Structure 1
């Protein structure tokens, strides 16, 4: 196995474990047990558990940003629904890592991982603005979209762990949440036309 493949294997083992428990509760022994490698081999690729934790979360954020790169053509409402479906699909694909990323808290969080998480959130906001064909959003509209991304994160975290809501209902419900928030924003901000709401 190549060195990069071995590193990837250790990262995958860590992300799998992070999906079921808080990252700070996962030990080196847990990771080497899951990856079926020795402790010396672990330290050949990572100088510490913290280095692996940060690298694992960085891997997830890169995957999320890459996954949010495309957006299909069509009318704004259809593009918005496609964007939300994309968010759900990417989070579902990176389920263990996404859960770990949102649950990482201050124990693993660094300025680097915080910046990576913010990059994902900013990309989600850009995606929605693109779907709505808005090039110059007002401060209140930006605040609305950032609040909505927090709603999405909370909803996805619960859904990924519990699966109590059918997948086919989730994106429509999240779009309806955004529609309600955009309608409220339009009532308070004359620069947000009613036509903006899907």
Structure 2
């Protein structure tokens, strides 16, 4: 196995373990057992457990940004729905890491992981503005879009933990939420 493949394997093992318990309870011994490697090999790729935790969470945020990048052509609602589907897919694929990344009070949250989450949020806002063909958004529109990203995060966290809504309903509902929020903002600005 190449060094990069071995490193990726350790990250994958950590993300899998995050599915069964909080990241702060996963140990180096747990990870090396899951990846079927030795402790010295673990330390060849990561100086400490914290570094692996941050890299695992970065894998999730990079996946979220990649998921947002593939917007379809077409009217704004089609493009936004595709972007939301991309977010749902990535959050579902990295379920445990996504939950760990956004869970309030996580002991592995750092300024670096906070910056990674902010990058995802900022990318989401930029893509929505692009889909709506808005070049110079008002402060209230920006606030609306930032609030909607919080709605999406909260909805995905609940959905990942409870699965109380069908997956194929979730994206339409979230786009409907955005549509309603945008209508309220537009009415207020015309007001």
TM-score normalised by L of structure 2: 0.92
Q: How does 1:116-127 map onto structure 2 within 5 Å?
A: 116-127=116-127
The farther-off stretch of 116-125 and 71-80 is 71-80
Write out per-residue CA displacement over residues 23-44 of structure 1, whole angstroms, 9 at most, x where no aligned residue. 1111111111211212222112
Alpha-carbon offset, residue 138 of structure 1 = 0.7
> Does residue 84 of structure 2 align to residue 84 of structure 1?
yes
Q: Which runs of 4+ in 1 moved over 6 A?
A: none
Aligned residues of 2:60 and 2:90 also touching (Cα < 8 A): no
Report the 3-state secondary structure (helix = DSSP H, G, I; strand = E; otherwise coil) of the residue aligned with 1:189.
Answer: helix
Question: Number of matched residues?
Answer: 191
Q: Match of 1:55? A: 55
1:6-85 counterparts in 2 under 5 A? Answer: 6-85=6-85
Question: Do the aligned partners of 1:22 and 1:103 also contact (CA within 8 Å) in 2?
Answer: no
Distance in 1, matches of 2:65 and 2:120, equals 6
Distance in 2 of aligned mates of 1:92 and 1:162: 12
Residue in structure 2 matched with residue 129 of structure 1 by the alignment = 129
- Which residue in 2 is equivalent to 1:140? 140
**Cα deviation code 1:37-73 (max 9, x no counterpart):** 1222211211111011111111221222122112111
Distance (Å, rounded) in 1 between the aligned partners of 2:50 and 2:108: 7
- 2:154: which partner in 1? 154
- Contact preservation (8 Å) 2:77, 2:175: no
Structure 2 gaps, min length 5:
none
For 2:103 and 2:142, locate their aligned partners in 1 and report how far apart those are by CA, in whole Å.
25
Per the normalisation by structure 1, the TM-score is: 0.89
Maintained 8 Å contact 1:83/1:131: no
Q: Which residue pairs with 2:188 in the alignment?
A: 188
Question: 1:85-132 deviations in whole A, cap 9, x for unaligned?
Answer: 222223223323222221274521222211111001111111211222
